[in-house]
Structure 1
Amino acid sequence: MLSNWFAQNGWAEIVWLTIGFMAQAMFSARFLVQWIASERVRKSIVPEAFWYFSAAGGAMLLAYAIYRQDPVFILGQAFGLVVYARNIYFIWTERRAGEPGHEG
């Protein structure tokens, strides 16, 4: 019974499971964002929001992986965060280069 599971595992486990499920939903939402954006222009594109969902979901999943002490999961999420952060950096750098006073 579900109430027994909650009694045996405690609130910390419930909180971490909630974080894990929310993280997975955030991470999965990036594909929905990419799909909708591509359908609108009828070609494959990666919108800026994809990288923000990736970073948020990846950070949350990394926290969950650390809590679970899963080295495979930790390594995979940590590497992904580097890629997401780098892409966000490129977006911000390109945007800043287009601002007045930042030419060159």
Structure 2
Amino acid sequence: MHDVLFSFNQWAVTPWKLIGYCGVLLFGGRWIAQLASSAMAGKPTFPRLFWYLSLSGSACLLAYFIWGKNDSVGILSNLMPAFIAAYNLMLDIRHRRRATGVS
């Protein structure tokens, strides 16, 4: 997983870096989902997709920082958002189940 897939000038891309880039895109893409949801609602909102993107982006970044780079700063900076996203996703699912009467 640490083998260079391709390089451009002095920039080398490994499979782990692709996982990291995917995490960055997912984690950053959550704001586009939030922006679109807020624009449609006419007020600030956080759709469930925001929390899915947060959780999946954090998971990719954690994998990159744990196995790809072994960087404790990156690990710690992505652990809290992962827990918060998981908690908020759980609250959202629980709230919608109660609202619709589905158990």
More helix, by proportion = 1
TM-score by length of 1: 0.79
**Alpha-carbon shift at residue 96 of structure 1 (Å):** 2.5
Residue in structure 2 matched with residue 34 of structure 1 by the alignment: 34
* SS of aligned partner of 2:44: coil
**Alpha-carbon shift at residue 22 of structure 1 (Å):** 1.0
Quick one: percent identity of the two aligned structures?
30
More strand, by proportion = 2
TM-score by length of 2: 0.80
Residue in structure 2 matched with residue 2 of structure 1 by the alignment: 7
Residue in structure 2 matched with residue 63 of structure 1 by the alignment: 63
Residue in structure 1 matched with residue 3 of structure 2 by the alignment: none
Residue in structure 2 matched with residue 76 of structure 1 by the alignment: 77
RMSD over equivalenced CA pairs, Å: 2.5
> Which structure has the larger Rg?
1
- Distance in 2 between residues matched to 1:54 and 1:92, nearest whole Å: 15
Q: Which runs of 5 or more structure 2 residues have no equivalent in the other structure?
A: 1-5
Residue in structure 2 matched with residue 23 of structure 1 by the alignment: 23
